[in-house]
Amino acid sequence: AQSVAQPEDQVNVAEGNPLTVKCTYSVSGNPYLFWYVQYPNRGLQFLLKYITGDNLVKGSYGFEAEFNKSQTSFHLKKPSALVSDSALYFCAVRVPFYGNNRLAFGKGNQVVVIP
Amino acid sequence: NAGVTQTPKFQVLKTGQSMTLQCAQDMNHEYMSWYRQDPGMGLRLIHYSVGAGITDQGEVPNGYNVSRSTTEDFPLRLLSAAPSQTSVYFCASSYSTTGPYEQYFGPGTRLTVT
């Protein structure tokens, strides 16, 4: 079965420092990988996705993610964190086949950016 | 476009009561789904639909029913509420069941069952 793991519960980072949120995946087949962000009391917002091609994917709000097939990872990164980046981040995976768009989500990482 | 809308935003139920959580999207999306979010557990899929008239179970379907009579609407019914169903519920939609399309989420319904 497809799954993702987000090994850290919380990531603390000082404002202006690089931010990394880790995600590893387990699928049989080529994955579609997604990152979503959830601000307090809001629904999830799409940040970026990897389908195929370039391993470095750029997304919204200055975020990017690197797909690494050998390490089965899809870590989310931002070069310089802002206080407004404090939120809950979810990694998700889908194995593409016709008729199903099911996503498996990780448990989420709380990011706290310290002023 | 309003996107994905959900009503109500908050609801308190007593054990054994039933209710329907409403979800609608105005993007003509084929795929719609319901998730529940519980602390430390991420989002878990309850039910999903790949088009009008077609629904299927997700990871945690027990105690919930769905139907999809139109492309726009995908209500979630709690048959007999239990405290274990206290959670935040999100509806999501996606353009198609094929292709790497991201899902769009509604704002959520916070449900408490006492």
Chain segment B8-39, per-residue pLDDT in tens: 999 999 999 999 999 999 999 999 999 999 98
Nearest to B40 among A36, A105, A107 (CB): A107
A98/B97 CB distance under 8 A: yes
Q: List CB contacts of B62: < 8 A, sequence separation 6 or more.
A: none
For residue B102, the chain A residues in CB contact (below 8 A) are 34, 46, 49
pLDDT in tens, B38-96: 988 889 999 999 999 999 998 899 999 999 999 999 999 999 999 999 999 999 999 87
User: Smallest CA–CA separation between B14 and chain A, in Å?
Assistant: 23
Structure tokens at B104: 């769009």
Q: What is the DSSP secondary structure assignment for residue A38, as one 8-state letter?
A: E
Q: List CB contacts of A115: < 8 A, sequence separation 6 or more.
A: A15, A83
Closest CA to A111 of A24, A61, A35, A39: A39
pLDDT in tens, A7-46: 988 999 999 999 999 999 998 778 889 999 999 888 899 9
What's the length of chain B? 114
Q: Which residue has the higher pLDDT, A2 or A65?
A: A65
CA distance A61 to A95: 26
pLDDT in tens, A79-110: 999 999 999 999 999 865 545 667 889 999 99
For residue B33, the chain A residues in CB contact (below 8 A) are 101-102
Amino acid A109: pLDDT: 94
Q: Which of B35, B102, B109 is best to mutate for the A interface (most A CBs within 10 A)?
A: B102
Question: Looking up tokens 């179970």, which residue turns up?
Answer: B57
